[in-house]
Amino acid sequence: MDDRRWTGRRGEASVNPKAQSPNPNRVTLEVMTSRQRLLRWGLGFGIWVLGFAAAHAQFFGELNAPIRRAPSVFPDRNFVVCRLAYRQVRTEPNGGGWRTDYPYGEINLTIRLSELTRTAVRRDAQNDPNYYVVTALDEGLFQCPFLMASDVGTVGFTDEEADRLRTYFLKGGFLWVDDFWGDAAWDQWSGEIGKVLPPAEFAIEDVPIDDPIFRSQFIVPKVPQITNIRFWRSTRGAETSERGEATREVHFRGIRDHSGRLMVVMTHNTDVGDSWEREGEDPAFFYQFSPNGYALGINVLLHAMTH
């Protein structure tokens, strides 16, 4: 990463050093601060969702969407989400490898970030939020302030990729991995990230619910279990654990650097990305999952940008 910080510039979420909160570990941001506002926004947003679905449904779940590769030098300093493309060495039921939830997971999350905070986001010529795909070996990796990866129970890193990612994290980079379910997927992911950040030095930990990441903007009292929309439809919204009792417990885990900064966060046994990607396909799905999914997503984004 270069020396640029994703805070403090006009139009972005920024820290107010004079503002003090009762919790000294809490970052005070120039953004809306009530989770209830997001819920009310969600209710008012519902009518618009139907029109959104008609306009964009053809893109949802699109595994053949064009790959927008990251340039080696980004054109400006506005925020952008980068999707980490990786080599897939095994398969998971209903998984799509690195393309899972791409591209509308990050597109919709970026839209909501720009609407619910003062964060300036990078947009393309059509005024849509920009997004990039980057591999561990691309020059553009070190331009990415935030990496997202899904279905990581299928990933395999080479030694060279592991070295590059380790450098990225230790220079200030951040990765959120999501939408991997069960013990086999966990074992595969934890083994591969262990090549990048050896567990003897960088242990994986369960992040407690009182951690500041859950209070960056919205108060998140519980990590939501969100299912993919196809499974949700098959159970009529009554079940959220995609593999029964084996995946009933949701995990929010992380890896910190030597100063305590979260470099990697992991949402296991939940598909938070579907609450963004699929927000416009069914109002009932939106109301059940999207407000909580966006509350967590925006909290993680803001925490990554300010730490």
Sign of CA dihedral 178, 147, 290, 61: negative
> What is the distance, to the nearest Å, from the Cα of residue 25 to the centroid of all Cα atoms in its chain?
22
Confidence category of residue 26, pLDDT binned at 50, 70, 90:
very low
Nearest CA to 158 among 89, 99, 254?
Answer: 89
Q: What is the CA radius of gyration of the chain?
A: 18
pLDDT tens digits for range 57-97:
333 345 578 899 999 899 888 899 999 999 999 999 988 99
* pLDDT classification of 15: cutoffs 50, 70, 90: very low
Distance CA 118, CA 115 (A): 7
> For tokens 């009529």, what's the residue?
236
Superfamily name with CATH number, domain 35-305: Domain of unknown function DUF4159 (3.40.50.12140)
Cβ atoms of 91 and 182 within 8 Å: the answer is no
Q: What is the per-residue burial (b if ≥16 Cβ within 10 Å, else e) of 188-224?
A: bbbebbbbbbeeeebebeebeeebbbbbbbbebeebb
Per DSSP, what are the bridge partners of residue 251? 268
What percent of the chain stands above pLDDT 90?
71
The pLDDT tens digits of the residues spanning 117-135 come to: 999 888 888 888 989 999 9
Whether 207 contacts 213, CB under 8 Å: yes
Both tokens assigned to 147: 């990496």
> What are the residues whose beta carbons fall under 8 Å from the beta carbon of 154, sequence distance 6 or more?
88, 89, 90, 91, 92, 95, 97, 185, 188
Measured between alpha carbons, how far is 199 from 202 in angstroms, rounded to an integer? 5
Which amino acid makes up residue 148? M
Residue 283 has pLDDT above 70, yes or no: yes
48 has a pLDDT exceeding 70: no
* pLDDT at site 55: 35
Helix (H, G, I), strand (E, B) or coil at 144: coil
Interval 207-261: pLDDT, tens: 999 999 999 999 999 999 999 999 999 999 999 999 999 999 999 999 999 999 9
pLDDT at 38 over 60: no
- pLDDT-based confidence at 30, cuts 50/70/90? very low
Where helices occur in the chain by DSSP H, the ranges are 35-56, 104-116, 159-170, 182-196, 229-235, 272-277, 283-305
Q: Is it the case that residue 13 has pLDDT exceeding 50?
A: no
| pLDDT at residue number 52 | 42
User: Can you read off the two tokens belonging to residue 183?
Assistant: 């013990």
